[in-house]
Amino acid sequence: MDPTRHPTSGRPAASGHEGDLRDAIAGPLAGSLEESRRHLGIPAGAHGFGHQAGAWHMGILAKQAAVLESAPEGASVHAIVDHDANDDATTIRAPVHHDRLVDGVLIRWGPSVAGAATAWMPAVQRPTGRDRLVGVDWALPWIGERMHQWFDALERHAGAGSVAVQAALANQRVLASLGARQCAITITTSSLMSTAVGHVVLDLMLADPARCAGEFNASLAQSPGAATPLVERGDQSELPLWLRGKGGLRRRATASAVREALAAGEPILPRAFVASGLLRLLLSRFVHGLGGGTYERAGDAWWSAWIGVRPGPYSIATATELLPLSAPSAPPVDLFRRAWTNPEVLDATGRALEQRKFMLAAMEREPAGSAARRAAFRAMREYIESLRSRHALELDDLRHRAPARAHRRAAALAADRTWPALLHDAGTVAGMFSGSGR
């Protein structure tokens, strides 16, 4: 199946001197942008995308392909979203066969993220789970080799600065072997707050926490559910940042807690609106997926109302690409569940059905809540149990003859667009980049 891309824009792209225009609309942040680009190694006019670390799916790879197709030579940026606490960073899933039907296996190669920012988790020196690759009935013949490639890549990048960088680089390494083109520059969202523009944003937040939080919450009307509202308590209001708690867990950041963290030299991470806005200010174009395009309406409203800043333009790219998995069509009715609930259907004579109808009518004739009605209900339940016992062999046969729910699960897994991109055949992966040519 060919990838389906959806190139739409959040605002018309700037033309000509995009970097100059971006600085002109960045308000109080304009003077710090060029210094921040130098700090991160981002050239002028760069295009980029971002996503959480892990073995992500083809829809995300489409964002990378879109960046490489449009970015100037050497000016493509991959931002690892490591301020997030995504448990997918330390797992990988793959399709297998179980009882001749498609099923899935989830292998954890590192510790559970469990609320920790992946930026603060050390790289895994000895990834776990490779032993689970032995003797598996993979749903496609090449998947076993790809899974070994994944573990080889994880081990190769065991010296990375964090588990997020390790997972992101491993993913890119396997994809590159299949024909994917990598971005010229890789950065992390955790590095944004250490830049000059990050420092200015922090100063503006701390200068008026109440206004920052109030405008943030008001912006959520543009995209309900895009973010969790901040606690508004005047000068002690919560800010859209993460602080480091015990065990590397992220903790919400009040203005006073941020000041204490800065004084102690502790790390501060951006939350989504901050990270996305800063990336769009530093880049000439940012490529989002469908979800990002939704929450940016609220993010843009916050930046504009809070400090009069308009983040740079973005476009949207995605793809629907399925693994060539075969799955039988699901029967329209789960015969076992139907027979278990209504065992009278197993009586070929029809007498059991008539008896149940008679008992149900007798129960409904009694007053609601009465002892007589309860007694009639118990009698009917006992009759159903006797039918189940009488037809136990037929029920057991239906139970073991690939019930409909197993077929439905297999069909859903075959139609799942979120299997890791590195599990697709090389032609599909390389084809995603056929238009980049850079």
* Domain carrying residue 343: 335-402
Q: Residue 330: is its pLDDT beyond 70?
A: no
Q: What is the mean pLDDT of residues 405-416?
A: 86
Does residue 413 lie in a domain region? no
- Same domain, yes or no: 181 and 49: yes
> Which range has the top average pLDDT, 145-149, 322-326, 345-349, 378-382?
145-149
Q: Cα(283)–Cα(61) distance, rounded to whole angstroms?
A: 19
Percent of the chain predicted with pLDDT > 90: 78
Q: Residue 16: is its pLDDT beyond 80?
A: no
Q: Cα(262)–Cα(318) distance, rounded to whole angstroms?
A: 38
Q: Residue 2: is its pLDDT beyond 70?
A: no
Q: Cα(410)–Cα(414) distance, rounded to whole angstroms?
A: 6
Q: Write the pLDDT tens digit of every residue in 26-67.
A: 788 999 999 999 999 999 999 999 999 999 999 999 999 999
**Pair 187, 265: CB distance under 8 Å:** no
Q: Residue 21: is its pLDDT beyond 50?
A: no
Tokens 């959480």 -> residue = 52
Does residue 129 lie in a domain region? yes
- Same domain, yes or no: 168 and 255: yes
Show the tokens assigned to 118: 């992946």
- Same domain, yes or no: 241 and 354: no
- Same domain, yes or no: 182 and 326: yes
Q: How confident is the model at residue 25 (pLDDT cuts 50, 70, 90)?
A: low
What are the residues whose beta carbons fall under 8 Å from the beta carbon of 326, sequence distance 6 or more? 102, 414
The predicted structure's pLDDT at residue 247: 84
The predicted structure's pLDDT at residue 360: 92
- Same domain, yes or no: 163 and 220: yes
Does residue 412 lie in a domain region? no
Does residue 411 lie in a domain region? no
For the beta carbon of residue 68, count every other beta carbon within 10 angstroms.
24
**Pair 217, 223: CB distance under 8 Å:** no
Task: Give the global pTM.
Answer: 0.80
Q: Residue 129: is its pLDDT beyond 50?
A: yes
> Please, which residues bridge with residue 251 across strands?
243
> Please, which residues bridge with residue 23 across strands?
none
Q: Write the pLDDT tens digit of every residue in 110-128.
A: 999 989 999 999 999 999 9
Q: Write the pLDDT tens digit of every residue in 61-73.
A: 999 999 999 999 9
- Same domain, yes or no: 121 and 71: yes
What are the residues whose beta carbons fall under 8 Å from the beta carbon of 373, sequence distance 6 or more? 363, 366, 367
**Pair 96, 409: CB distance under 8 Å:** no
Q: How many domains in the chain?
A: 2
**Pair 438, 68: CB distance under 8 Å:** yes
Q: How confident is the model at residue 379 (pLDDT cuts 50, 70, 90)?
A: very high
- Same domain, yes or no: 323 and 382: no
